[in-house]
Structures are given as structure tokens and as C-alpha cells.
Amino acid sequence: MDATERISCLIIGSGPAGYTAAIYAARANLKPVLYQGIQPGGQLTITTEVENYPGYADGVQGPEMMVHFEKQAARMGADIRYGLATKVDFGQQPFKVQIDEEKWLEADAVIIATGASAKWLGLESEQRLNGYGVSACAVCDGFFFRGKEVAIVGAGDTAAEEALYLSKLCTKVHMIVRKEAMRASKVMQDRVINTPNIQVYWNSETDEVLGEKTVNAVRIRNNKTGEKQEIPVSGFFVAIGHQPNSAIFQGQIDMDEAGYIKTTPGSSRTNVEGVFAAGDVQDKIYRQAVTAAGSGCMAALDAERYLGAKGLH
């Protein structure tokens, strides 16, 4: 293969957004090339049961679902490759994208579907029990803890929203807040404080998530007194934010202050003509597999129209 391969439609990332974009782009005969990135399948590969994706009546394991997506994209003719985009130059057409810090590609249209990563506390137990009672998505996994007690850590609007969501399913929600106040908006704080089955632990940090094979308690430490206490819970939710995987696009494309790529409302178009963004890298509101897949479809259709208008397809 020569040093610079020319690609009509390049898709960067391989979660529901990237694979759906590949399915639509392949069917439109755009001959898409998809690079899977560091975590083929994206965030769903670190979840276990997925029950809220339409079409899977009995639920499906996250990794298995991503295998289905990948196989479907491959069957349609998408060229799926293992590799990580490490640098981009969107300054001129065709766009240049470097893979694995060595090979440069040229692409007429680029769909960015690099997703986002949940921020974690950094505890060994949290990673070991991830998927076994530890989760970074209450909307995805709260259902499995109906009628049980859970803990949630975080102090922003998302944490407050997720605590309220869990309070409708669980007997009790223990909310661990690091400072003596929340960052959440006043209205969200009031809702949390006025919900009888949410107990807030102020000035508290998570010391350890306890449990052998599944979560059975969380040990917290009071920042002021140093006092520790164990709270028996079946689930532990981390809601301290997400980090969009957009670092390599810094300076090349418009983003908000958190690093989410800005798209024109109602489309996947970015401020660079011919570059599109789909999924969690541009969506900090919904962050669901089904919304990511929908935006992947939009990106492929937008890319097809763009290439057609430019006479490149």
C-alpha cells in the first residue's frame, strides 16, 4: 500500500454511531473505511446486559451487540480495520488523517464517531466490579437494581438527575458528595433534597467498593472527621462526568468548553465542510446506544449528500 491511500468516506470510531454510519455509507456505495480505534465496539463492550435497545426482546450483552453491528457493516461492504487515528489535518481538501502515528490517509469526507469515556474515581475495586454492580450509566443499568439499595457518587446535574432516576426504582439511594455543596443547578438540588429515599453524604469520598464477585457495600470517608463508614448497597453508580474522545481534533474543529464537537442542530455537520460528527463525541445529553446509532445514520446521509454535491460520488 502506498504512503497515502485515498478514501472517499472515512469513519473514525466503532461504537453504535460508527458502525451505523458504516452500514448506511456502504449501502450508498461510498466504500467507507472504518478504523475501530483503541476500544473496538466502544463503551458498550464494557457493559454487560443491554435491555433498552429496540429489537432485542430478551436483552443482549453489550459486546455481543457490537459484534452484530460490526458483522452487519462488513456484510454491506464496509472496510473495517483495526487502528487508531492519531493526528488529523482538516485545513484543506482532501482531509489528512494519520493512523497509528505512521500511515497517512487522504479522505474526501470524514465521519467522527470516537465517542466519550466515563470518568472514573480510579479505584481498583471500581474497575474490577465494573459490570458487576458498578456502572457509569444509571439510565442504562438502574433497572437491574429495582427494589434494592444503591449508591451514587457525583455532585453535578447529571449525578442529581441519575439519583432521581434511581430513586424511582430503588428502595434507597445513597448519594456521596465530596464537598459541602453540590455543583448541580438549584432546581436539581432541591429535587434531590426533597426526595425522601435519597440520603446525601456531604464532605464524603469513596474509599472502596466492597464485594467479591458483585457489589455488596461501599466504604466512604468523611473529609472533615476522617471517619469511615460502610453502607450496604447492591449497586454503585459513578456520575462524575464523561470525557469526549476528541483530543486529536483540538484546534481543527469547533468544540464546546468540555471538548464535545459542535454540530449544526438537526444535522451531523461540523464547522468544517465535509467533516461530520456522530454519537457521544457530540452528544452530552442523551448518550444512549440508540441515539448514537441514529446520529450515525444522519452522518452517513449527510456525507453522501456532501460527496454527491461535490461530484465526488
Q: Which of 108, 141, 280, 302 is catalytic?
A: 141
Asked about 170 being catalytic, the answer comes back as no
Q: Which of 9, 108, 140, 283 is catalytic?
A: 140
**C-alpha span between 229 and 205 (Å, rounded):** 11
**C-alpha span between 279 and 113 (Å, rounded):** 6
DSSP secondary structure letter of residue 261: B
Centroid of chain to Cα 11: 17
- Cell numbers given for 214: 458483585
CA dihedral 151, 152, 155, 158 (to 10 degrees): -150
Q: Mind spelling out the 3-state secondary structure of 124-171?
A: HHHHHCECCCEECCHHHHHHHHCCCEEEEECCCHHHHHHHHHHHCCCC
Cell 454540530 identifies what position?
A: 263
Which residue, among 4, 15, 5, 9, has the nearest Cα to 281 in the 3D structure? 15
DSSP secondary structure letter of residue 12: E
Give helix 186-193 / helix 157-167 axis angle, nearest 10°: 30
**C-alpha span between 86 and 69 (Å, rounded):** 24
Name residue 210's amino acid.
L
Asked about 137 being catalytic, the answer comes back as yes
Which residue, among 33, 36, 37, has the nearest Cα to 8 in the 3D structure? 33
Asked about 79 being catalytic, the answer comes back as no
Q: Which of 79, 137, 157, 297 is catalytic?
A: 137
C-beta atoms surrounding 225 within 10 Å: 8
> Would you please indicate which residues are annotated as catalytic (active-site) residues?
137, 140-141
